[in-house]
Amino acid sequence: MLRRALSAAPLVVLLAACSVAGNQPAAPGERVVTLVTHDSFAVDQALLDEFKSDTGITIKPLASGDAGELTNKLVLTKANPIGDVAFGVDSTFASRALKESVFAEYTSPEGDKGAQRYQLEPANRLHAVDVGDVCLNVDVAALKDVGEPQKLSDLADPKYRDMLVVEDPATSSPGLAFLLNTIATFGEENWTNYWGQLKANGVKVVSGWEEAYNQDFSGSAGKGPRPIVVSYASSPSAEIGDDGAPRTKALLDTCYRQVEYAGVLENAKNPEDAKKVLDFLLGADFQAQVPEQMYVYPSREDIPLPEAWAKAAPLPANSRTLPADQVDAGREQWVQQWRTLVQG
């Protein structure tokens, strides 16, 4: 899917552990809720154990690919769902899930602590769990003499030739978010002209975030050749130098907002316990772990960011976005147009 700076190794271990636990058959009378998630879901096992101790409910995570794959699986299995509650359908795919009636109506008592800011519809079938803004990130030192771009249109300037690496929107969540950002910025009539300018100026396209950030970006541990990358507003929090200052910077005027949602699945086998799990995802204890476990911002307003984030990775104030129904209607056509223009 995406994604999180410097979190790949512990995440693999965690998901492997969850998968092993999830594959064990439930004991007679045991209350088990299957939480269908994207592959980047991460949580401290101690918190899951505490939830089980408090409620008697065992949460069984079921990793199901990136946001697009997850949504497809939920749609295809909606009559006989593969779980009880799902987390990870993001704002680029939410309208499809809602149109297909994947989720049941439910108003969480935790939903008025911030998640309501990102509410998509009055029925409240999806609840915002986290926010992950996709922005240009720059290697501060590498651009010292050239100067940092201030807005997307600056990337077409010849002084930034061969400096930008982006992800393929057909295979990458941040890549799709960046494409949508260009459509939101330049409009449906002019975004193709902008991409033509980027292509002429030497933009490099790779399949996913891991390759772009850790191999091509000069500001990461990989020390690649390109000082500008499409990544996350949170990424600089993982690039703090020995002097306490971040080596990289997210350009907060170039961001596109991605929101990740959770909801109780229609036809869930354990709907009442699924509601409790959804409340847990929106609760203060889980939300406090969101930044350092999954490198995204909590949806709750009462959760302070880690100290490094407050300094290096504040939540952008004016990120762009497109209406979910517009994205759903245009996504496939836009990606195909992009492929023809940039890769054709």
Q: Which residues have a Cβ under 8 Å from the Cβ of 227 and sit 6 or more positions away?
A: 138, 139, 142, 143, 163, 217, 218, 219
Residue 151 exposed, middle or buried by CB count within 10 Å (0-12, 13-18, 19+): exposed
The matching CATH number, chosen from 3.20.20.10, 3.40.50.2000, 2.40.30.110, 3.40.190.10, for 8-132+257-312 is 3.40.190.10
CA distance 56 to 273: 10
The CATH class of the 134-256+316-343 domain is: alpha beta
CA nearest 130: which of 35, 262, 304?
262
**pLDDT of 26:** 60
**Cβ(344)–Cβ(195) under 8 Å?**
no
Q: pLDDT tens digits, the chain, 344 residues: what are they? A: 334 433 333 333 344 334 434 444 566 678 999 999 998 899 999 999 999 999 999 999 999 988 888 999 999 999 999 999 999 999 888 989 999 999 999 999 999 999 999 999 999 999 999 999 999 999 999 999 999 999 999 999 999 999 999 999 988 888 999 999 999 999 999 999 999 999 999 999 999 898 999 999 999 988 999 999 999 999 999 898 888 888 999 999 999 999 999 999 999 999 999 999 999 999 999 999 999 999 899 999 999 999 888 889 999 999 999 998 899 899 999 999 999 999 98
Question: pTM to 2 decimals?
Answer: 0.83
Q: Is 33 helix (H, G, I), strand (E, B) or coil?
A: strand
Neighbours of 337 (CB within 10 A): 17
Domain ranges across the chain? 8-132+257-312, 134-256+316-343
Token code pair at residue 9:
């190794």
DSSP 339: I
Bridge partners for 262 per DSSP: 87, 127
CA distance 226 to 212: 9
Q: Could you give the angle at the alpha carbon of 53 between the alpha carbons of 51 and 58, nearest 5°? A: 60
Domains 8-132+257-312 and 134-256+316-343 share a fold: yes
CA distance 335 to 179: 8
CA nearest 41: which of 21, 70, 81?
70
